[in-house]
Amino acid sequence: MSKLGNLGHRLHRGEISYDFVGKRRIWYGVSILITITAIIGLAVNGLKEGIEFSGGAVFNTHKTSMSVTEVQNKIAGDTGGNDATVQKLGNGSVRIQVGGVSTQQSHTIQDAIAKDLGVSSTTIDAEIVGPSWGKEISNKALEGLIIFLVLVVIYLAIAFEWRMAAAALVALLHDLTITTGVYAIVGFEVSPGTVIGLLTILGYSLYDTVVVFDGLKEASKDITKQNRWTYSDIANRSLNSTLVRSINTTVVALLPVGALLFIGGGILGAGTLNDIALALFVGLAAGAYSSIFIATPIVADLKERDPQIKSLRKRVLAKRASDAAKAKQALANGEPAPDEDLDDGPLGDELAGDEEGTPAAAGVVGQRGQGPAAGVSRTARTQPTNRGNRGGRGRPSGKRR
């Protein structure tokens, strides 16, 4: 655990980093593959709507020792030709849902179920849900989702910029598509709890994304006034600095949700928890993935198309090529590699290290004179901090001479 904590500390300080942005084509490919699978699942299986949306009847029995399978076998053929969903509740009673039946049909089915189970029909509580009410709920849920997405885009466009708003919207739609696709593939019913779960995960996914965007906005301020780092480099550094926080937050959130889904729903048989637990579990995992691998790389892609950022990238690459050539020439002549000036523009102080001469934070991975490299890099070279207008900063005493 101490090693993991040390790794997180070094990532946060920028001493090491992983090139998420540089490998964005891989993440895009993985997301496209998962999204296509989810869409195919939706097209083939469709969403299994609960009676709250499709309309139907719910029959609740008193406490019984019969299992779900036994109840399903006994009532088979007596549900008016409609599919019946049987759930065992926590108090030992059984909940039977039959979709697409009218009020008159529900009375007939209630009598048939009571006869099959060997109980009086008066001991079975019946509840009828009309399809018009379900349709109204569906429309309200869709309206709420659209309003949420619109407000999110407007807020991000004002607080940050339109590129970040577009990236966040893509990430949110990515999470929605995957979650609904898993619902279709697994065959769980879509209930009001599912809608609540979806709205919850959208807010959670947005939180992670905004944290990264806030750091990126601060780090890229006046970025065009220096010649060492491209926008993608700074985006990658911002992402790495919040990586451990995102992972820890996601794991802590997934543990109780996983307990609800796998223990509560799977082992204990509390089927009423499955709808919201599945939406939360899949959505939290997808949201964490999209915040790290989708949102920030998309911002970097869009930003790199800006003329000023394009010009910056050309200058940075030219400088790196020049530094590499000088280093190669010095090596060929048996001379030490030329020293690089880290105090280059507004980012120089931040990347040069602190007052005590700590190692410089690595804005990009890889060695000097090279672009971003795959994997985790070594610690960046220590640089002196006693420069011109800083007086005695960098000396142990901190006094001016």
**Are residues 29 and 61 both part of a single domain?**
no
**Are residues 278 and 237 both part of a single domain?**
yes
**pLDDT tens digits along 355-398:** 333 333 334 444 333 444 334 443 334 333 444 444 444 444 44
- Is position 70 within any domain? yes
Domain range enclosing 77: 56-129
Q: What is the mean pLDDT of residues 204-224?
A: 85
* pLDDT at residue 40, rounded to an integer: 93
- Is position 391 within any domain? no
C-alpha dihedral (355, 357, 362, 368), degrees to nearest 10: 130
What number of residues does the chain have? 401
pLDDT at 291 over 70: yes
3-state SS track over 3-35: HHHHHHHHHHHCCCCCCCCCCHHHHHHHHHHHH
Highest mean pLDDT among 83-87, 225-229, 392-396: 225-229
Tokens standing for 365?
């991975």
**Are residues 226 and 93 both part of a single domain?**
no
**Are residues 249 and 284 both part of a single domain?**
yes
SS3 content of the chain, % helix, strand, coil (to 5): 65, 5, 30
Nearest to 179 by CA among 199, 208, 164: 199
**Are residues 138 and 122 both part of a single domain?**
no
* pLDDT at residue 350, rounded to an integer: 44
95 DSSP β-pair partners: 60, 87
Nearest to 246 by CA among 280, 278, 293: 293
With a pLDDT cut of 70, the percent of the chain lying above it is 76
- Residue 359 neighbours by CB distance under 10 Å: 17
**Are residues 67 and 101 both part of a single domain?**
yes
**Are residues 146 and 256 both part of a single domain?**
yes
- Is position 155 within any domain? yes
- Is position 392 within any domain? no
| End position of a domain, from candidates 253, 285, 308 | 308
The SS3 assignment for 218 reads: helix
Tokens standing for 122?
């008066």
**Are residues 122 and 137 both part of a single domain?**
no
**Are residues 296 and 228 both part of a single domain?**
yes
- Is position 327 within any domain? no
| End position of a domain, from candidates 308, 343, 362 | 308
Check which CATH number belongs to the domain holding 257 and give it: 1.20.1640.10
- Is position 330 within any domain? no
Q: How many domains does one find in the chain?
A: 2
**Are residues 222 and 271 both part of a single domain?**
yes
**Are residues 251 and 154 both part of a single domain?**
yes
**Are residues 248 and 300 both part of a single domain?**
yes
Q: What is the DSSP annotation of 144-212?
A: HHHHHHHHHHHHHHHHT-HHHHHHHHHHHHHHHHHHHHHHHHHTPEE-HHHHHHHHHHHHHHHHHHHHH
Check which CATH number belongs to the domain holding 70 and give it: 3.30.70.600
- Is position 396 within any domain? no
Tokens standing for 326?
């000088």
- Is position 303 within any domain? yes
| End position of a domain, from candidates 81, 97, 129 | 129
pLDDT at 125 over 70: yes
Classify strands 48-49 and 189-190 as parallel, antiparallel or unpaired.
Answer: parallel
**pLDDT tens digits along 306-347:** 999 999 999 999 888 888 888 888 888 877 766 554 444 444
Lowest mean pLDDT, pick from 182-196, 257-271, 316-330, 353-367: 353-367
